Chains A and B, each alone.
Chain A
Amino acid sequence: MKLTGAETIVKCLEEQGVEVMFGFPGGVIIDLFDELEKSSITNVLVRHEQAAVHAADAYGRVKGEVGVALVTSGPGATNTVTGIASAYMDSIPMVVLTGQVPTALIGNDAFQEVDIIGITRPCTKHNYLVKDVNDLADTIREAFHIARTGRPGPVLVDLPKDVVMSKAKFVEPKPIRMQTYRPTYEPHPGQIAKACKEILKAEKPVIYAGGGVIASNSNEELTELATKLGIPVTMTLMGLGGFPGTHALSMGMLGMHGTYFANMAVSKCDLLIAIGARFDDRVTGKLEEFAPYAKIIHIDIDPTSISKNVKVDIPIVADCKYALTAMNRWFDVQDDFNGKAHEEKLGPWLDDINDWKRRHPLGYVEEGDIIKPQFVVQKLHELTKGEAIISTEVGQNQMWAAQFYHFNKPRHFLTSGGLGVMGYGFPAAIGAQMAAPDKIVIDVAGDGSIQMNIQELATARQYKCPVKVAILNNSYLGMVRQWQELFYDKRYAGTNLEVSPDFVALAQAYGAVGLRASKVSEVVPVIKEALATDNTVFMDFVIAREEGVYPMVPAGKATTEMLLA
Chain B
Amino acid sequence: MKHTISVLLQNKPGVLSRVTGLFSGRGFNIESLSVAETLDSSVSCLTLVTRGPDPIIEQITKQLHKLIDVIKVVDISESDYVEREMVLLRVKAEANTRAEVLRIIDIFRGKVVDVSPKSYAVEITGPQSKIKAVIDILKPIGIQEIVRTGTIAMARAKKF
Contacts and interface: CB of A to CB of B under 8 A. Distances in A.
A178 B69 CA distance: 10
B58 interface: yes
Contacts of A303: 62, 65-66
Contacts of A129: 13-14
A121 B14 CA distance: 9
A302 B58 CA distance: 13
Contact of B66 (A117, A302, A311): A302
A307 interface: yes
A304 B71 contact: no
Nearest to B8: A180
Interface residues of A, number: 18
Given A117-B14, A121-B14, A180 B70 contact: yes
A265 B141 CA distance: 68
B10 interface: yes
A117 B59 CA distance: 24
B21 A122 contact: yes
A562 B65 CA distance: 39
B17 A118 contact: yes
Interface of A: 117-118, 121-122, 125-126, 129, 146, 178-181, 302-304, 307-308, 311
Contacts of B17: 118, 121
Contact of A125 (B25, B63, B68): B68
Q: Which 9 A-B pairs have the closest CB atoms?
A: A126-B68, A304-B62, A122-B25, A303-B62, A180-B71, A181-B68, A304-B63, A121-B21, A304-B66
B30 to A, nearest CB: 16
A39 B65 CA distance: 39
Nearest to A155: B68
13 contacts: A121-B17, A121-B18, A122-B21, A122-B22, A122-B25, A129-B13, A146-B68, A180-B70, A180-B71, A181-B68, A304-B66, A307-B55, A308-B59
Contacts of A311: 55
A307 B58 contact: yes
Contacts of B63: 304
Residue of A121, A302, A304, A307 with highest tally of chain B CB at under 10 A: A304
Contacts of B70: 180
Residue of B17, B62, B65 with highest tally of chain A CB at under 10 A: B62
Contacts of A180: 10, 68-71
B8 to A, nearest CB: 9
A56 to B, nearest CB: 21
Interface residues of B, number: 19
Nearest to A151: B66
Interface in B28-72: 55, 58-59, 62-63, 65-66, 68-71
Contacts of B58: 307
Residue of A125, A180, A307 with highest tally of chain B CB at under 10 A: A180
Contacts of A121: 14, 17-18, 21
Nearest to A304: B62
A180 B70 CA distance: 6
B63 to A, nearest CB: 5
Contacts of A307: 55, 58
Given A303-B65, A303-B66, A179 B71 contact: yes
Contacts of B69: 180
B83 to A, nearest CB: 26
A122 B18 CA distance: 8
Given A117-B14, A303-B65, 8 more contacts: A122-B22, A178-B68, A179-B71, A302-B66, A303-B62, A303-B66, A307-B58, A308-B59
Contacts of A179: 71
Contacts of A304: 59, 62-63, 66
A217 to B, nearest CB: 23
Contacts of A118: 14, 17
Nearest to B24: A122
A180 B58 CA distance: 19
Contacts of B65: 303
Contacts of B25: 122
A516 B59 CA distance: 51
A126 B14 CA distance: 11
Residue of B14, B21, B22, B71 with highest tally of chain A CB at under 10 A: B14
B44 to A, nearest CB: 12
Contacts of A302: 66
Interface in B6-27: 10, 13-14, 17-18, 21-22, 25
B40 to A, nearest CB: 11
Contacts of A125: 68
B66 to A, nearest CB: 5
B52 to A, nearest CB: 14
A286 to B, nearest CB: 18
Contacts of A117: 14
Contacts of A122: 21-22, 25
A311 B54 CA distance: 12
Nearest to B64: A304
A180 B17 CA distance: 17
A321 B134 CA distance: 58
A94 B66 CA distance: 18
A36 B91 CA distance: 66
Residue of B21, B59, B65, B68 with highest tally of chain A CB at under 10 A: B68
A310 to B, nearest CB: 10
Contacts of A308: 59
A370 B41 CA distance: 71
A532 B108 CA distance: 87
